[in-house]
Amino acid sequence: MCPPEHFRVTYSINPWMDLSKPVDVRLAMAQWSDLRDCYRSLGHTVDELTPHPDLPDLVFTANGGLVLEDRVLGARFAHPERYGEATVHEEWHRERGCVEFQRAQHTNEGEGDFAVTDRWLLAGHGFRSSPLAPQEAQEFFGRPVIALGLVNPRFYHLDTALCVLDDGTAGDGADGDGGSVRGREGSTVMYYPGAFSPGSRAVLERLFPDAIVAEEADALALGLNAVSDGHHVVLPQAAVGLLEPLRERGFEPVPVDLSELLKAGGSVKCCTAELR
Ligand code: ARG
């Protein structure tokens, strides 16, 4: 995570970013600190990236790359305003000593457009990441990649429209019937169908018949921009319609308020790069 010390809306590269709505940096800092402390209280380790005065969106660390088994596919940003962030992330990973770092050839905005399930990588394209990014990720990670077309500019990144909730192993506990509570059939996801092209929607229905399907209001609260550790699901508090469906499937929702970050089109997941 990266503290929003220099967070501002000084340019507009998605429909959420309204230059006439100033950001309250102190409030953003307080909300962000609550999110960091929330992760720590759940037992997770949080490393902090040093903020940079010229990179107001650096707070959205999910966009820096995709990390899987200590191999890192570094981002290549779509907009010049964010180009500089890729280097900050690369230096951080190299210093930390990842096994292999590769700066992508094709535009991809890291976990903004890549999600990891037990079996596949899901890759969004249409607004930011290139349609060639899925193939590049498949080659680099040696995992099958499912490319998904995004069609609604409010949901310009995959992580604004879909969240992977577990790795498909969490439900192996018995439900008393010799079955499992959830998960034996693979990862559970939640998503908003309206963000996807018709064909990609059909793919999601086919791959995830038991998914939590979000309503528009929860999607517009960026409720899908959540982070799950397989049990706790940290999500924007305004997405109240997701609470019950999550609980029904055995997850524990942990609502947080990131309203200031929403002014740049980001929330929980955007602020969180996961180091697998
Ligand atoms: N203002 C940033 C942009 O438009 C927000 C990035 C949000 N990050 C994310 N992972 N969806 O690029």
3-state DSSP helix/strand/coil % of the chain, to nearest 5? 35, 20, 45
Domain membership of residue 8 (yes or no) is: no
**247, pLDDT greater than 80:** yes
Distance 270 CA to ligand 1 centre (A): 6
Digit-coded pLDDT (tens) for 171-209 = 544 444 444 454 457 999 999 999 999 999 999 999 999
Q: What is the mean pLDDT of residues 159-181?
A: 70
Domain membership of residue 44 (yes or no) is: yes
Q: What is the mean pLDDT of residues 129-154?
A: 98
In this prediction, residue 170 has a pLDDT band, given cuts at 50, 70 and 90, of: low
Distance 190 CA to ligand 1 centre (A): 19
**230, pLDDT greater than 90:** yes
Distance 159 CA to ligand 1 centre (A): 9
- Which ligand 1 atom lies nearest to the CA of residue 110? 10
Do β-strands 100-103 and 71-74 pair in parallel, antiparallel, or remain unpaired?
A: parallel
In this prediction, residue 97 has a pLDDT band, given cuts at 50, 70 and 90, of: confident
Is the separation of the CB atoms in 192 and 211 below 8 Å?
no
Q: Whose CA is nearest to atom 7 of ligand 1?
A: 266
**164, pLDDT greater than 70:** yes
Nearest Cα neighbor of 77 from 109, 114, 125 is 109
Q: What is the mean pLDDT of residues 40-57?
A: 98
- What's the alpha-carbon Rg for the chain, to the nearest Å? 18
Report yes or no for ipTM above 0.95: yes
Distance 120 CA to ligand 1 centre (A): 23
**233, pLDDT greater than 70:** yes
Domain membership of residue 276 (yes or no) is: no
**Number of domains making up the chain:** 1
Domain membership of residue 17 (yes or no) is: no
pLDDT at position 125 is: 98
Domain membership of residue 6 (yes or no) is: no
Q: What HEC string does 5-54 produce? A: CCCCCCCCCCCCCCCCCCCCHHHHHHHHHHHHHHHHHCCCCCCCCCCCCC
The whole-chain average pLDDT of the chain stands at: 94
CA separation for the pair 244, 263 (Å, rounded): 27
Tally helices (H) and strands (E) across the chain.
Answer: 7, 12
- Which ligand 1 atom lies nearest to the CA of residue 77? 12
Domain membership of residue 2 (yes or no) is: no
pLDDT at position 254 is: 98
Tell me the catalytic residues. 157, 270
Digit-coded pLDDT (tens) for 207-216 = 999 999 999 9
Domain membership of residue 186 (yes or no) is: yes
Residue 91: CATH number of its domain: 3.75.10.10
Ranges 66-75, 127-136, 170-179, 226-235: which has the least confidence: 170-179
Share of the chain above pLDDT 70, in %: 95
- Backbone phi, psi, residue 76, to 5°: -130, 110
The pTM score is: 0.94
**126, pLDDT greater than 50:** yes
* Residue ranges lining ligand 1, Cβ < 6 Å: 13-14, 17, 57, 60, 62-63, 82, 112, 157, 159-160, 264-266, 270
What is the rounded end-to-end Cα distance, in angstroms, of the chain?
A: 14
Domain membership of residue 13 (yes or no) is: no
Q: Which residue segment(s) compose the domain that 92 sits in?
A: 25-169+181-271
CA separation for the pair 107, 102 (Å, rounded): 13
- Which ligand 1 atom lies nearest to the CA of residue 157? 11
